[in-house]
Structure 1
Amino acid sequence: MRGWWRDLTDLVLPAECGGCGRARTVLCPECRRALSGAVPRRVRPVPEPPGLPAVHAAARYGDEVRAVLLAHKERGVLALAGPLGVALAGAVRVGLEEAWTGAGGAGFAGARGPVLLVPVPSARRAVRARGHDPARRIALAAAGELRRTGTPARVLAVLRQRRAVADQSGLGARRRLDNLAGALAVAPGADRLLGSGQVVLVDDLMTTGASLTEAARAVRAARTEAIVDRGERAESSAVRGTYGSVRTAVYPSVVWEGREEQKSGEAADATVREPEAPGMAGPGGGGAVVREDAREVICAAVVAASPDPFQINRN
């Protein structure tokens, strides 16, 4: 009810710019340029947590950008999700292009499968207090912007908190990592779907990188389990002599979020390709090796990052 009332209020009442407070506009042209007027850049926190994927940010966190993010997150100015989503979509595009080009490919234009935006979830108590999950809402807007500009994309909201965590504000980089270690997991039944497209972890803000590092760990762990499971099923198929087949699997109880709605608990299709020839033995001897392919790329994108990571340009 609270989220519905905020949506209605944003549409009916006169708005002010979320960045500078200018009357009767959700986001003025100047603040919109501050948010998404520059080319997104690779950002690295210092110290850089082990396991942090490549992160691209649309803007520096400060002044108008800080005000916009806080207005959306803490004051519930939901109309700001649109421009924030546009900024996030720009960071996603640049991140994927660099990931694919750096991997020796011809760029993301030749990639297979949709972009899968996996938002870092807020703590349950924060969602209850705010009445919405900011990263998830921005991810939905970013997916819409990517589709509008010709890139297939959808939100795959599969990360869940396994345990309660302390408030991150006031914690240093090391304590943030310790606070979040092992806190996230992929929802049951969703692990194999993570291999059906290009995974991009998304959040509204990066400071120390602890949240994105833990999210990446959870996704990698789930995907490894799925690969092992595919390998076991491939070995079973090899015994039966079924090579070169493509199967469609149905995974229930996951959350796919489409263009304008959320579909929770419905089945979603994904294809799993079996090995095309026998004799690919693993470390244990018999059985087929199931390799990760180009769809297994993980990178991350955020609307904003604290200023210091923007100053770092290491190879």
Structure 2
Amino acid sequence: MHRGKIVEQGAARQILEDPQHPYTQDLVRAAPSVAVARLRPQVFTTGPAADKAVAVEPVAPAGATAKPDNIVEVDDLTKIYPIRGKKEDFAAVANVSFAIPRGETVAIVGESGSGKTTTARMLLKIIEPTSGAIRYEGQDVARLKGKALRDFRQKVQPIFQDPYSSLNPMFTIERIIAEPLEFYKRGTGKDRDARVRKLLDDVALPQTMLRRYPSELSGGQRQRVAIARALALNPELIVCDEPVSALDVLVQDQILTLLRDLQGEYGLSYLFISHDLAVVRLISDYVCVMKDGQLVEAASSEEIFTNPRDPYTRRLLASIPGNELDIAV
């Protein structure tokens, strides 16, 4: 269906393999697939993480000896929750270690309850870890206070799964995007107005959206507003928590392409949380696979999707509808 009308109908195989209507063709092309390469070309290499499955470490090009430039390093991160009436506590995250190279995308994947969102919330300093360390630009995040903590919160921004819930329904789009600029007293009122309009252009929304409210926008438009708000303070790292899971495949493709373009324009690093491996295939440089709070495998995206080593990773890949790689047994 498109705009309230049935534009094409037929047997499932015919629709998927030989669509006739242009809209159906666009839908089929936009559907993520693990058989499709990343949105932008890159050269993949393997490293210690692929063998040990405990950390994601960027690998320097041949002949290079410089230490990898990681914007974030996570070491033995653990989050324990006590369970009322039970002697044993619940380990939501247990001894997780990985690194996020500057300007690249690390994805954390896993089923519900795997600990991926808890890990992201600890990185955002929404919740505190029980043990372990998170270092941002070499600084221990747990020790940040005062001005250093304010600077950290401006440099690390989130994009949440459901923009309808994360955006204030009582605010106009202009006020939503301008709010972080006003809170941190960035520039004059005129400067902030210009910044808001520039951000709207960056996420490909018309200026006419400024006076509208979230309820007047589509899901894809609301997510673009959420992205613009996340960019307002010129962050260096964006934590994307399932940012396209609530969107249809055409809009997913558009948002993923937008995130890729913004990464190149702003020099952003991404931590991308998702349960959808086909989406992760399109966006990530490195992949961490989590299960029951533990990191079971970590390597370059190409290595994970073409040569998965852990049985759980292979089962995840085998469970994807339309998996054409024939690599999971």
Measured against the shorter chain, the TM-score band is under 0.3
Higher RCO, Cα 8 Å, sep 6+ = 2
**TM-score scaled by structure 2?**
0.26
